[in-house]
Amino acid sequence: MNSMRRSGQSAVPPVRSKDRFLVFGAPEIAEAEIDEVVASMKARWLGTGPKVARFENDFKAYIGGNHAAAVNSCTAALHLSLVAMGLQPGDEVITTPMTFCATANAIIHAGGTPVLADIDPVTLNIDPAALAARVTPRTRAAVIVHFAGRPCDLDAITTLCERHGITLIEDCAHAIETQYKGVHVGTFGRYGCFSFYATKNLTTGEGGMVIARHRDDVDRVKVLALHGMSKDAWKRFSDDGYKHYDVVACGFKYNMMDLQAAIGIHQLARLEQNWLRRQQIWQTFDRELAGTGLGLPAPARAHERHALHLYTVQVDPARCGLDRDSFMNGMSANNIGVGVHYRSLVEHPYYRERYGWQGGDVPVAFEVGQRILSLPLSAAMTDADVADTITAVKRVLARP
């Protein structure tokens, strides 16, 4: 049947031609941010400055958080949060296996030992019962991920963390627009960490943000983000005279540039508009792909606002007649770019060797990680891009 399908495919041209390859995660960029970057260049203030301060204020207001620190990635935001909370070598930090490697790497760089708790098969978020089962006397923190933009079960998780004195850190890389019971995520934990990487819902090229409830917590992050210096460069070089700085911690070089904030300010202004466009695309996928055999994302619950970051589907070979990787090859052959978010962390040799992780530790995430992939979803997509994606899915599944 495979060879028949392959020969059948070669007879028809791909859904899109090679020169119109649909790039996965293409950002939506407008003149407003292009002009703002050019203005920053002309003003000759490239590094951390007034635009970073404005972006922090705008973002904090959007999220409804108390304090914000802009940094150069979400990875940096996670690392800084874990260092700022005072994580010590050997402290255990519970996290999800269904995430990008940066979540676990930040824990390791901060001196912690990552401990995996399995996911819920419907939401694909960390399962609060699995989290509870992994708590030991050495558990200091939990880093949760609002996967694809769907909020975690925050009532259960915050209760659990309070009961055991565990610091909660939210990886909100997918979840800028996400709300739980009407409140933005990133404000439930001690720190909320956001990403503005090129494929995320809001991009600054590279960039990130820490949201914190307490001033002391964000002040500590800001000092650590710039070498551990007591005063940032913006203030050092201001026009009311040179001021000495003191190094008060062994910090990092994680600050955001004005060039990045120049993009972010305008991306943020269009965030909700872009969310609405992705919602249209999401609903079209839900409607058109029902009955194809693909496993589709579960609908958001009434008290949840989904950020609609990733439209993940699952390829069950028993229902689809092919596996995830063959399906992806079929999409690529039709010049539709797809992504994998994610193979579970236990599949990577580094963690297997260092921590002895295996699929059986987190069976749900392990299985999902072999079936899941993400279809293209971006506000930059045209109706034709959406239609081509649907046509390609049906063709690859041989269900035209």
Ligand X SMILES: *Cc1c(COP(=O)(O)O)cnc(C)c1O
Q: Is 200 a catalytic residue?
A: yes
Q: Which of 104, 116, 161, 173 binds ligand X (CB under 6 A)?
A: 173
208 interacts with ligand X by CB under 6 A: yes
Residue closer to ligand X by CB (options 15, 202) is: 202
Cβ atoms within 10 A of the Cβ of 10, count? 9
Residue closer to ligand X by CB (options 45, 100) is: 100
Q: Which of 40, 81, 103, 204 binds ligand X (CB under 6 A)?
A: 103
Q: How many residues bind ligand X (CB under 6 A)?
A: 14
Residue closer to ligand X by CB (options 103, 179) is: 103
Residue closer to ligand X by CB (options 186, 208) is: 208
Residue closer to ligand X by CB (options 40, 72) is: 72
CA angle 66, 217, 226 (to 5 degrees): 110
148 contacts 299 by C-beta, under 8 angstroms: no
Site pattern 128..147 for ligand X (x: CB under 6 A)? -----------------x--
* Interface region with ligand X, contact rule CB under 6 A, candidates 99-107, 221-229, 278-286, 347-355: 99-107
Q: What is the DSSP letter of 213?
A: S
Minimum distance from CB of 174 to ligand X (Å)?
Answer: 6
Q: Max alpha carbon distance in the chain (Å)? A: 77
Q: Which of 40, 48, 73, 179 binds ligand X (CB under 6 A)?
A: 73
95 interacts with ligand X by CB under 6 A: no
Q: Which of 14, 49, 59, 75 binds ligand X (CB under 6 A)?
A: 75
- List the beta bridge partners of residue 313: 373
311 interacts with ligand X by CB under 6 A: no
Minimum distance from CB of 107 to ligand X (Å)?
Answer: 12
Q: Which of 59, 100, 191, 285 binds ligand X (CB under 6 A)?
A: 100
Residue closer to ligand X by CB (options 171, 388) is: 171
In what side-by-side order are the strands of the sheet with 92-95? 67-71, 208-212, 191-195, 167-171, 139-145, 92-95, 113-116
Tokens of 113: 């030992």
SS3 content of the chain, % helix, strand, coil (to 5): 45, 15, 40
126 interacts with ligand X by CB under 6 A: no
80 contacts 223 by C-beta, under 8 angstroms: no
171 interacts with ligand X by CB under 6 A: yes
d(CA 174, CA 194): 8
310 interacts with ligand X by CB under 6 A: no
Q: Which one is catalytic: 42, 200, 235, 253?
A: 200
96 interacts with ligand X by CB under 6 A: no
Tokens of 358: 């295996």
151 phi and psi angles, rounded to 5 deg: -70, 145
Distant-in-sequence, close-in-space partners of 379: CB < 8 Å, separation ≥ 6: 28, 273, 274, 275, 277, 278
* Interface region with ligand X, contact rule CB under 6 A, candidates 59-67, 154-162, 168-176, 236-244: 168-176
Instruction: Output the 3-class SS for 91-150.
Output: CEEEECCCCCHHHHHHHHHCCCEEEECCECCCCCCECHHHHHHCCCCCEEEEEEECHHHC
366 interacts with ligand X by CB under 6 A: no
Q: Interface residues with ligand X (CB under 6 A)? A: 73-75, 99-100, 102-103, 145, 171, 173-174, 195, 197, 208
